[in-house]
Amino acid sequence: MNKTTRFDTREHILNTGEQLCVQSGFNGTGLIELLKKAEVPKGSFYYYFPSKEAFGVAMLERYFARYVQNLSAFLAEHQGDARQRVLEYYQQSCNWWQEHQFAGCLSVKLSAEVCDLSEEMRNALAAGSAALIGELTSALEKAQQQEKLSPAISASSTAETLYMLWLGASLQCKIRRDSAPLQIAVQQMTRILQAN
C-alpha cells in the first residue's frame, strides 16, 4: 500500500465518520455502520486507529485543523479592517448554516456527548477550541493596532466570549431549527466589537 493510498483511506474513514457523527453522534455511530458506509474492511480501520476513541480524537483533530485553517485564511484574505473581517466571518457562517439547513457542526454535536466519556477526546475539543480562540485573538489584536477596536478591551477574553456565544447559538439553532440564534449572536458580536 503506497503512501498516497494509505493517506486517502485514512482520510476517507475520517470523512465518513465525521458525516455519520454529525448525524448520529459519536456513541450513536457504530463501527459496523461506519465500515459499511466507508466500504472498508475492519482490518483497515484498526490499521489506522487502535480504538474507536483514537478514531474520535483523530476526527476531532482533523476537524479543528480544517476549521482553524479556514478561519485563518478568511481573516488573512485582505489587509483591511480586521474588526470588520471578524464580523464578516460570522455573518458568512450564519448564511452558510441557513443555506445548508443547519447541517450541523461536529464540535457542537460532540462537546456535551464525549467530554465525560473520553478524556482524550475532551482534550482534542479543548485544544481545537483554544486554537480557534487564538486566531480570533490575533485578529482582535490586529484590529486594536489598526485603531478599529478599543485598546481597553482584552482581545483574548473577547475572543473567548465570541467563540462561546457562537457555540451556544449554534446549539440553539439545532434545537430550534431556525437561524434566529445565530442572527442574534452576530448582532451581539457587533455590539461587543464596537468600533473605536
pLDDT at 1: 44
Q: Tell me the three state secondary structure of residue 141.
A: helix
pTM score > 0.85 for this model?
yes
CA distances from 32 to 8, 52, 165 (A): 20, 11, 36
pLDDT at 103: 60
Rg (CA), the chain: 19
Q: What is the dihedral of CA 63, 21, 163, 134, to 10 degrees?
A: -20
pLDDT at 117: 85
Per-residue confidence of the chain (196 residues) as pLDDT tens digits? Answer: 444 455 589 999 999 999 999 889 999 999 999 999 999 999 999 999 999 999 999 999 999 999 999 999 999 887 789 999 999 999 998 888 777 665 667 888 888 888 888 999 999 999 999 999 999 999 999 999 999 999 999 999 999 999 999 999 988 888 888 889 999 999 999 999 987 6
Q: Walk me through the domains of the chain, giving residue ranges and CATH numbers.
A: 1-48 (1.10.10), 59-192 (1.10.357.10)
pLDDT at 173: 85
One-letter amino acid for residue 158 of the chain = T
pLDDT at 57: 96
pLDDT at 99: 77
Q: How far apart are CA 52 and CA 30, in angstroms?
A: 9
pLDDT at 4: 44
pLDDT at 5: 55
Q: How far apart are CA 52 and CA 50, in angstroms?
A: 7
